[in-house]
Amino acid sequence: MKKKLIAIVLALLMVAALVLTACNNDSGGQASSPPPGGNDGGGTSQEVDQSKETIVIGACRPLSGIFQLFEDSVWGPMYKMWVAEVNAKGGLYIEEYGKRMPIELLVYDEESSMDNVVRLTERLIVEDKVDFLFATNSTSFLQAQAQITNSHGYLLFGAEGGSAETSSQYEDYPLFFPTLNHSSTQIPALTEVFKEMGITTAYVTYIDDLHGLEYRNAAIEHFTAAGITIVNNSGNGTGFPVEQADFTTIINDARSTGADAFCQFAYPDNNFPFIMQAMAMDYNPKAMIFGPSVNMDAFPLGVLEGNYALAEGVMGFGAWNTVNNPGAQEYVELFKKHWPEVGIDWWGHLIYYAGLQVFEQAVERAGTLDHQKIAEVYKAASKDNPFETFMGPVWFVNNSFAPECFPGNVGQWQDGVFQVIDATDRRTAAPIEKPNWP
């Protein structure tokens, strides 16, 4: 009898183990929490809590640390401005609740730390049970966050960060919708600009993270195919850590090669010191491009203390402006109403706000807080059925904004305007050879 009882208990334990294994396999091997709003992550609507009054949107953002500039000047002002605009209308109208619902923000400081991004994203989903999440900052951080949010069935649309590597994994992240253009469109556009300018040699530096490596790899591929030689480190470019701020050795080496162009794929806290040191050392090749950084008004207005002559001819990734662009002009007027003392980002701002406008339209079209159903609205958009934004009509291809939706990929400061210099019909000015530092 004892043997029979033991056998029965062991059999039940085995069945339980098999059930748990199957459940884990269905959720990608991770315990997942269904998003709030009567949604189990698979699009199955349940009875909603009609007493719910607000929509809570959580975020972990670099309120401090090396990436703080992005929160202060880039994505931070965008989501705060959008929330203020939506709440001024009474909130988002959600059909299944039959009312407009104001938005509450719950933002944690991730201190520019990957470990904190992972920990706080989990906290916002599992403990705080926020209705939606806004994206973190930087390419590698955003990629890590996308893995977490998708494992929990949460929709996530991108902000500062974009990656060709991530785009190849979108089948694994069906609820992730990055908005920013990146190396896959920008480096080919830059290559065409360099060809037009007669550039045949380039000195390439990059930050040792996903962003820098991806741009470096794209530059090797496209420059080489176009006959542009990367002259340093046997054609592989020169990497450096995120903390680096002294570029004397790199500037001397770049000068010694006589390269026509200098390209640095890094962040503002690297690029701004480099530019100041290049001025002091009178390093001045025919073309200089940095990104992200010089696309921000923080460059001529802050770093250069309003001296636009010092910015003349410097290139950056992006770009957009208000030249023959009424939607962009309307956006600038709205931005200045909310942030009169903050400079504009002429790469990301218009794109980020368009992403928020898309989110607003998708939620209201879906009429629910169900993440899967909202994602279906995102994917249903097309060139013939777009979302209307300040950037113009937009839609998604492979979960990202279609390449033709972007106003520009390469910009250059000319007479105080960040001109679009892509060799396309969206060009607002032809590229110029960088003049000597004044």
> pLDDT (tens digit, 9 = 90+) per residue, 313-335?
999 998 999 998 999 999 999 99
SS3 338: helix
pLDDT of 163 reads 61
Cross-strand partners of 63: none
pLDDT per position as a tens digit, 91-142: 999 999 999 999 999 999 999 999 999 999 999 999 999 999 999 988 788 8
Tell me which amino acid residue 73 is. S
Q: Which of the two residues, 277 and 139, has the higher pLDDT score?
A: 277
DSSP sequence for 106-170: EEEE-TT-HHHHHHHHHIIIIIS--SEE---SSHHHHHHHHHHHHHTT--EE--S---HHHHTTT
Mean predicted confidence (pLDDT) in 296-310? 92
Helices (H), 27-125: 68-73, 75-88, 114-122
Mean predicted confidence (pLDDT) in 387-396? 96
pLDDT per position as a tens digit, 173-192: 889 998 889 899 999 999 99
SS3 372: helix
Q: Is the pLDDT of residue 289 over 80?
A: yes
Q: pTM for this one?
A: 0.85
pLDDT of 3 reads 42
CA distances from 9 to 1, 3, 12 (A): 12, 10, 5
Residue with tokens 């002259």: 231
CA-based angle 101:103:105, to the nearest 5?
160
* Category of 366 on φ-ψ map: left (φ > 0), alpha (ψ -120 to 50) or beta: alpha
Of the candidates 291, 295, 314, 304, the residue with the CA atom closest to the CA atom of residue 204: 291
Dihedrals phi, psi of 6, to nearest 5 degrees: -60, -40
Residue with tokens 């972990």: 60
Identify the structural domains of the chain with CATH numbers, from first to last: 55-178+328-405 (3.40.50.2300), 183-319+408-420 (3.40.50.2300)
Query: H or E stretch including 290?
Result: strand 287-291
Q: Is the pLDDT of residue 18 over 80?
A: no
Residue 76 to residue 85: CA distance in whole angstroms: 15
Residue 102 to residue 304: CA distance in whole angstroms: 40
Rounded percentage of the chain residues whose pLDDT exceeds 90 = 73
pLDDT band per the 50, 70, 90 thresholds, residue 6: very low
Pairing of strands 315-317, 410-414: antiparallel
User: Highest-confidence range of 7-21, 40-54, 210-224, by mean pLDDT?
Assistant: 210-224
* Token digits of residue 373: 């159903």
Residue 281 to residue 262: CA distance in whole angstroms: 15
pLDDT band per the 50, 70, 90 thresholds, residue 14: very low
Determine the length of the chain.
438
Cross-strand partners of 157: 177
pLDDT of 84 reads 97
pLDDT of 41 reads 41
Residue 67 to residue 113: CA distance in whole angstroms: 9
Residue 215 to residue 166: CA distance in whole angstroms: 13
pLDDT of 139 reads 77
